[in-house]
Structure 1
């Protein structure tokens, strides 16, 4: 079978929404070519695993690549994907150049092409994200999260995921109840479990993400400990039940349900948000404070922001 490697030239800000469009349109794999990766300090422990060529990367902006089967519905799928990506501007998302093109690749080529972008990544002093196809020998005190990204966005390498995991490590305490909103691959729910949370619920509106997250729970022997459900944000969730809520999603979405998050988190509990491009940091802070939260910490990495807020006792 022939496959198409579909490439979107866009901005850092648009990585997640564009990736979501591609996943929801049936992409069998998504990869990011971000020039930041060429200068990112991955640490001596994993530096030898990265063999990145500058020729594959844009001088500015990023490439988001996805792989689609070239079947009878391919042309219609491409038209729909292009329209949906361009519609993101209605949400005030800067798409940059927004050029879109594709090339044909053979079945064997596509199966391995996107995997070259994902290697073991040390997210914190203890946490290492390891793709299933990598052979990694764990060291003492390592916390390993094994992932098969599949068709769900969230491999552990994106700055928003890294910031979220670091915030969870500082926040989650033994026996906490954690809710992960927009779970994607399930990586943040898995991190919360590794940090000692007792009750974890992960929500995603996309059924593909729900399925992928469940598969990753099995990989980590965590399917007994984490419940994954298809749900629209925090719709229907009881009030004052979560010690920690984490939401790594678009800034506009975080703003839209700040009041609901305030109701669901317990007094004294924490709300960790990420997926926020720097220029939208103030909007999210305003929304959280208007809902009643106290902002405790703001961290940044490569133009992305994570905000840790607290519900007063």
Structure 2
């Protein structure tokens, strides 16, 4: 079978939403690369095949790559992908230039080509993200999370995820109940478990994400430790049921359920939010405080913000 290596040149802010779209549309693997490292590859290997010319290869921004089977549904799938990426603008996510292109690759080539972009990464003082095919010798204090980025919605290395993991490391205590809202790959739920949480629930509205997270839980022998379910944010979740609620999703979504988060977090508990671009920081802060939380910390990385808030004892 022929496969297409499909590329999207976009902004850092759009990396995770674009990656999610590619996964949802059936990509067999997704990789994020620094385009400045690949000018020669683009010019020599892809110059006559891609819709873009070598001169269009970016010196700024991010290139997101995905692999799709070139079957009867391919053209329809790519058209849908392009439409959905353009639709991100409606959520105030800059995608410019949003240019796309693809090249045909052989079945034997695509399966391993994207893996070269993923290696073990230490994302906090304790947590190390390790791709399933990599050997890694753990140090005594380290907590290892294995992920298969081919099926994951988040590899653990994007700034929004790193900020979330760092906040969890600061907030989770042994025996805590933790809820991961919009779990994606399940990496945050896995981190909570590794950090000693005992009652962990992971929710996502997308059934593809639920399947991906469940597979990653199995990879880490955590399928019986973390409860995964399809759910719309915190709808229907019991009040005062979590010591920590973590949500790494768009700012526009976070502001819609801060009241629910306040209801679900136990008195004295913590609400962690990430996925917030800097220009939306105040919007989210205002809504979190309006719901009754007290903001205790704000962390920033590469234009992204995470907010840690507490529910004061009642």
TM-score, reference length from structure 2: 0.91
Deviation of 1:254 after TM superposition, in Å, equals: 0.8
More displaced stretch, 169-178 vs 274-283: 274-283
CA change 1:256–1:34 in 2 (3 A) is farther
Deviation of 1:195 after TM superposition, in Å, equals: 0.7
Report Cα offsets for 1:178-220 as digits up to 9, x if no partner: 0001111111101001111010000011112111211111221
Deviation of 1:54 after TM superposition, in Å, equals: 6.5
CA contact (8 A) 1:32 1:64 kept: yes
Superposition map of 1:94-173 within 5 A: 94-173=94-173
Does 2:26 match 1:26? yes
CA contact (8 A) 2:5 2:103 kept: yes
CA contact (8 A) 1:151 1:208 kept: no
The aligned residue for residue 50 of structure 2 is: none
State the alpha-carbon separation in 1 of the partners of residues 98 and 268 from structure 2: 43
State the alpha-carbon separation in 2 of the partners of residues 146 and 89 from structure 1: 33
> What RMSD in Å do the two structures reach over aligned CA positions?
1.5
SS at match of 1:13: helix
Deviation of 1:118 after TM superposition, in Å, equals: 1.0
State the alpha-carbon separation in 2 of the partners of residues 247 and 68 from structure 1: 29
Deviation of 1:247 after TM superposition, in Å, equals: 0.5
SS at match of 2:223: coil
SS at match of 2:26: coil
State the alpha-carbon separation in 2 of the partners of residues 173 and 33 from structure 1: 35
TM-score, reference length from structure 1: 0.91
The aligned residue for residue 45 of structure 1 is: none
SS at match of 1:156: coil
Report Cα offsets for 1:91-116 as digits up to 9, x if no partner: 11111111111111111111112111
State the alpha-carbon separation in 2 of the partners of residues 199 and 55 from structure 1: 50
CA contact (8 A) 1:179 1:244 kept: yes
SS at match of 1:14: helix
State the alpha-carbon separation in 1 of the partners of residues 123 and 32 from structure 2: 18
SS at match of 2:13: coil
CA contact (8 A) 2:16 2:154 kept: no
Deviation of 1:53 after TM superposition, in Å, equals: 5.0
CA contact (8 A) 1:176 1:198 kept: yes
| Structure 1 consecutive aligned stretches of length 4 or more whose deviation exceeds 4 Å | 52-57
State the alpha-carbon separation in 2 of the partners of residues 54 and 255 from structure 1: 40
Report Cα offsets for 1:2-27 as digits up to 9, x if no partner: 11111111111111111111111111
State the alpha-carbon separation in 2 of the partners of residues 261 and 244 from structure 1: 10
The aligned residue for residue 280 of structure 2 is: 280
The aligned residue for residue 75 of structure 1 is: 75
CA contact (8 A) 1:245 1:272 kept: yes
The aligned residue for residue 211 of structure 1 is: 211
Report Cα offsets for 1:244-271 as digits up to 9, x if no partner: 0001111111111111111111111100
Deviation of 1:69 after TM superposition, in Å, equals: 0.5
CA contact (8 A) 2:274 2:305 kept: yes
Unaligned residue ranges in structure 2 (runs of 5+): 42-56
CA contact (8 A) 1:150 1:212 kept: no
CA contact (8 A) 2:178 2:201 kept: yes
Count of aligned residue pairs for this structure pair: 298
The aligned residue for residue 249 of structure 2 is: 249
The aligned residue for residue 293 of structure 2 is: 293
State the alpha-carbon separation in 2 of the partners of residues 224 and 201 from structure 1: 11
The aligned residue for residue 310 of structure 1 is: 310
State the alpha-carbon separation in 2 of the partners of residues 283 and 34 from structure 1: 31
